[in-house]
Amino acid sequence: MGDLYTLHGQNIQLDLVTCYTGEPAGFRPANGAVYRVQDYRGWDGAKRLVQILRGRRVSTLGIICAGVPVMANWKWMLLAGLRAKVFVMNENGDYFWVDYSNWKLIGHFMLFRAGMSGDNGIWLPLRMLVFPFGLLFLAAYAGWLHARRWIRRL
């Protein structure tokens, strides 16, 4: 948190939505608030949190995508519910703004998180395409064997 205060000024308003109970090191409660998702359970709680953040006129939304699905539904809900400029940060602290000028970077990030970068970028879609046909073949073969056995019993 200290780096954000250094980059954007000591008096910036910084609100945090988290699933952790404590506050991160360097967070200044006088300049923001901490919202814990445990306090906003269910759909009604999520809508209430979005309304609170809208009332605080959130202008920028930072989403940490660390390759784990922790709070994934909350991230999507905040992304859809708030009118804010969005940046995505990975576990290394690298970040990019989500806008049309970064479409190549966003596409690469999504492919990497989906496990389709490098060699998997070629083979995974091919496997996904072939899988239904393989499954159909195995089901037809099993049906043919069972039908043949049923006919022999008659």
87 shares a domain with 125: no
Report the number of distinct structural domains present in the chain: 2
Residues 28 and 54 in one domain: yes
User: Domain containing 135: what range?
Assistant: 118-154
Most confident of 24-33, 62-71, 78-87: 78-87
Burial of 49 (C-beta count, 10 Å sphere; 0-12/13-18/19+): buried
Same domain, 90 and 123: no
pLDDT computed for residue 19 by the predictor: 81
21 and 75 fall within a common domain: yes
Name the residue with higher pLDDT: 146 or 119. Answer: 146
**7 and 83, same domain (yes or no):** yes
Output the pLDDT for position 38. 87
* 67 shares its domain with 142: no
**DSSP string of 78-143?**
HHHH---EEEEE-TTS-EEE-SGGGHHHHHHHHHHHTT-STTHHHHHHHHHHHHHHHHHHHHHHHH
The model's pLDDT over 34-70, given as tens digits with 9 standing for 90+, comes to 888 888 888 898 889 889 888 888 888 777 877 677 7
